[in-house]
Amino acid sequence: MTTYSLMSGGEKLVTADTFSVINPSTMVTVGESPKASIEDLNSIIKEARKAFTSWSTTPYEKRQQYINQIADTLETHSQELASIITQEQGKPIGAPLGSMFEMGGAVAWTRFTASLELPVKVLQDDENGHIELHRRPIGVVASITPWNWPVMIAIWHIIPAVLAGNTVVCKPSPYTPLSTLRMIELINRVLPKGVVNSIAGGDELGAAISDHIGIDKIVFTGSTDTGKKIMSSSSKSLKNLTLELGGNDAGIVLGDCNPDEIVPGLFWGAFINNGQTCAAMKRLYVHRSIYKEICDSLTAFAKSVKMGDGFADGAELGPIQNKMQFNIVNQLVKTSIQQGGEVLLGGPLDSEESLFFPVTFIAVEKNDNALVQHEQFGPALPIIPFDTVEEAILLANDNSAGLGGSVWSNDKQAAAKIAGQMECGTVWINKHGAIQPNAPFGGIKSSGLGVEFGEEGLLANTTIQCIFS
Ligand code: NAD
């Protein structure tokens, strides 16, 4: 079995303790992850602080070159990392939205971010004075990641932080630490010692990071509940925060849509990575005039999609990644049915022997249904009819989450008008969940604070210093 290590100051750090990581498709152990102690955390943060002095003064163009070398390294090792992702996360390796796709995203984000500039802005230059606005790195950035897209999300955190001159301590989810640990080992072949460090352990390690005075900023992707805890404990040392939290994205389908044209997009908008994606469509509102047609077409389409072990030929969907999440999805589906939801496909399971959960559609009339109000983060979609556009907008906004949303119509102007009234950070028209490295992404309401990606995402890893002369 491969040995995985933490990276601290450019060296492998051996921990006294380890924990097993399970393949959710087979329930067999994939490997042992190091389990860091508080002493390990202290010494890793010390290394990151030490490296900050020289990294923060390394010329920006030189840092861009390093980032491009990281992209090359990730590309060379894509197959190896994708294989680890499939083993520990479950998503199929070769599927259009599987783990090779995740690696493609990691490479693309790294290369695009390397091309961004951080120019000095001249705010004033006249007889009264000269004022320059400089962007400075913040210090040591902690990256805390979830289990759904482990490598890609870690890259989203690490690359802009490092490009801006910060050093990083990255803590992956205890469900999927191995691909991130290996990736950070590879990154350390490129970068100077201590610029990117890794740490692994349980949730309590995340809490210790957010409490630690040696950390200056936290970039966190995960649940809203954990985000609130991080915000609370970070307040002690007033850390800078970027929080990418839970979503409950609504899709609104207007009556002028042709079901055959939009059903593949609706399906993959909701079921990308088995619904275990922050910006997946999690509630589908359909105009009553085409409600039955859409439900029937979605059901037929879903039956053509193969679910299975991520290494099996043709598998497009894998299992739910862990038992905790499986139980959340199963219970929400059961409650939804008790509250009047009607099963169109799939349905709850009584046995928890495997983590494969069938693609499930539930026809729901009321917006206060549990499967509508709560983020399922799994392969179960409530489909709700509406009669007027005004009603659809009210229903979509009747939720504490505000990550993404979509509008589906042949009338792009009408769709854009509705988009402007949706309370969320991103709205897609005739698609759902597409993200790009040049477009800032982040949630409003309880879906988070701040943005990642693009120039705005890079700036979030800096502080402003104005120089008057
Ligand atoms: P989670 O909040 O349980 O865990 C995320 C990370 O936080 C893990 O590394 C975990 O160990 C750590 N953690 C747990 N308790 C902590 C604490 N008290 N202090 C600091 N760190 C702590 O989330 P999850 O179950 O891994 O991920 C699923 C959630 O993530 C969903 O709600 C999903 O919508 C959200 N998510 C959001 C985005 C986005 O960009 N907005 C992207 C992916 C996932």
Share of residues in the chain with pLDDT > 70 (%): 100
pTM recorded for the entire structure = 0.98
Q: What residue numbers bound the domain in which 255 lies?
A: 249-429
244 is catalytic: yes
Does 65 lie in the same domain as 35?
yes
Distance 227 CA to ligand 1 centre (A): 7
With cut-offs at 50, 70 and 90, classify the pLDDT of residue 340.
Answer: very high
Ligand 1 within 6 A of CB of 113: no
Does 290 lie in the same domain as 191?
no
CATH number of the domain enclosing 16: 3.40.605.10
Q: Does residue 192 surpass a pLDDT of 90?
A: yes
Q: 39-43, 244-248, 348-352: which has the minimum mean pLDDT? A: 348-352
Distance 220 CA to ligand 1 centre (A): 7
Query: Residue 289: inside a domain, yes or no?
Result: yes
Ligand 1 within 6 A of CB of 148: yes
With cut-offs at 50, 70 and 90, classify the pLDDT of residue 3.
Answer: confident
Q: What is the pLDDT of residues 46-69, one digit of tens each?
A: 999 999 999 999 999 999 999 999
Dist. CA 46–CA 48, nearest whole Å? 5
Does 26 lie in the same domain as 81?
yes
Ligand 1 within 6 A of CB of 229: yes
Does 256 lie in the same domain as 166?
no
CA 228 vs CA 157, 221, 243: distances in Å? 19, 12, 9
Ligand 1 within 6 A of CB of 243: no
Dist. CA 127–CA 125, nearest whole Å? 7
Runs of H (alpha helix) within 77-221:
78-89, 99-114, 150-163, 178-187, 203-211
Ligand 1 within 6 A of CB of 223: yes
Other Cβ atoms closer than 10 A to 46: 16
Does 144 lie in the same domain as 22?
yes
- Please tell me the residue having the least CA distance from ligand 1 atom 13: 203
Does 129 lie in the same domain as 11?
yes
With cut-offs at 50, 70 and 90, classify the pLDDT of residue 2.
Answer: confident
Give the alpha-carbon dihedral of 150, 151, 156, 161, to 10 degrees.
110
Does 459 lie in the same domain as 388?
no
Dist. CA 23–CA 1, nearest whole Å? 14
What's residue 122's pLDDT?
A: 98
Dist. CA 340–CA 174, nearest whole Å? 36
Q: Does residue 352 surpass a pLDDT of 80?
A: no
Distance 425 CA to ligand 1 centre (A): 19
Does 177 lie in the same domain as 275?
no
Query: Residue 49: inside a domain, yes or no?
Result: yes
Does 291 lie in the same domain as 211?
no
Distance 205 CA to ligand 1 centre (A): 13
The domain tally of the chain equals: 2
Active-site hit among 102, 244, 316, 375: 244
What's residue 1's pLDDT?
A: 73
Q: Does residue 152 surpass a pLDDT of 80?
A: yes
Q: What is the pLDDT of residues 419-433, one digit of tens each?
A: 999 999 999 999 999
Distance 276 CA to ligand 1 centre (A): 12
Ligand 1 within 6 A of CB of 164: no
The one-letter amino acid code at 305 reads V
